[in-house]
Chains A and B, each alone.
Chain A
Amino acid sequence: MADNDQLQVELVAADRTVWSGQATMVVAKTADGDIGVLRNHMPVLSLLVDGVVEITPVDGDKLFAAVDGGFLSVAHNRVSVLSQHAVLSAEIDVDAARSELESAGSDSDDEDAAVRARRADARIRAVERAS
């Protein structure tokens, strides 16, 4: 992997490795805004917010994953995305996420519900962007 434009990417949830492989680009949403990582990016450790992570693998279609916060760490062309919960768009149940969003959205005062709504929203967006 030394002489091309590849990154070693790992998308890791607390209880499993969601995706790992070679990719050319990773886009994630940090607390300061979207960040895109290409090869030879400087080492970065940054906080993510609930949102969608986009991975462009070397082979195959773009991948979209919904993450519930977490971290992005980039060093030596290795990118790790850590999140307590991370799901690939293919594994997301859209209908469940929609109903979750609706039920969470109805009581907007609750902080817990706001978090749930944001996460459900991220899931739905991941699926929408994948299709």
Chain B
Amino acid sequence: MALSVREYRARIRSTESMKKITRAMELIAASRIIKAQQRAQSAAPYARELTRAVSAVATYSNVDHPLTREPEDPKRAAVLIVTSDRGLAGAYSSSVLKEAERLAEKLRSEGKEIDTYICGRKGEAYYKFRGRPVVQTWTGFSDQPSYDAAHEIGKALIEAFLAEDGEHAVDEVHVVFTRFRSMLVQEPTDVRLLPLEVVEGEERPDSAEVLPLYEFEPSPEAVLDGLLPQYVQSRIFFALLQAAASELAARQKAMKSATDNADELIKKYTRIANQARQAGITQEISEIVGGVNALADANAGNE
């Protein structure tokens, strides 16, 4: 009770304005999350058709493609970490980074060296602060990724994977991102992107649906050559979209609890301020009463 009533009032006011900000951020995140989900939905047909086409080629022609070939003795692995550009999203970025550390540990124990690729400023800052080497970073689109971004990332990763030797040639590519399960649950996951395992898809084609015997133009190899890079990019795009939705959900949750906490604080400060005010009044009254009594005593003595 060391502070005066006025100071408590100032604290209440500043907490109130903080609450307004966090509340606004919560609402913005909530409205953006719907958009992010819509984007993820509208990207689904492309991914579905692409998966179907890839499995068609893979089933009906036993072509060997560099992107699906398992290296005999993997020495280096690239890890793409998808983080956010902005903070204030609770543990979102740190849990992805933790998952990435775990994966890196696992890969190192298998005797692989690691090349790190990063999406998002938070991850970039994390690695820069610790002085760890990063091959390439992409920033500025974490909450609404475009396909062009995925295209660019995919190109860089495929190049690194296909390079025979060189500084950044790798034998495996992994992606760490946050999967959007629901508004309440988002879990960091890691997926091995390259070499491709075509059978494993986001949505398996219905087993009852038999794939037709396609004619490939100009040739199965050429079709696969064109399809697989796009498949990889579409997988990356999927990861980015999931990460964006997760980021917004995490932000909404974090801002909701910040708003709730601000409410609590305001309540607490109001109580303390009222107590301080009451204490002040009580003191004043007792001073007055004391003064009156003293005066009365003095007067009584005179008479």
Contacts and interface: CB of A to CB of B under 8 A. Distances in A.
B50 to A, nearest CB: 6
Interface string B171-200: 000000000000000000000000000000
A58 B227 CA distance: 30
B217 A46 contact: yes
Interface residues of A, number: 27
A14 B43 contact: yes
Interface string B32-59: 0000000100110110011011001100
Nearest to A47: B226
Contacts, number: 85
A17 B47 CA distance: 11
- The contact size tier of chain B is 20 to 34
Contacts of B126: none
Contact of A75 (B42, B57, B214): B214
A12 B45 contact: yes
B42 A73 contact: no
Interface string A1-22: 0000000001011111100000
A10 B49 contact: yes
A71 B212 CA distance: 16
Nearest to B150: A14
Contacts of B52: 73
B147 A43 contact: no
Interface stretch (A76-84, A110-118, A123-131): A76-84
Interface of B: 39, 42-43, 45-46, 49-50, 52-53, 56-57, 146-147, 150-151, 211-218, 222-223, 226-227, 230, 233-234, 237
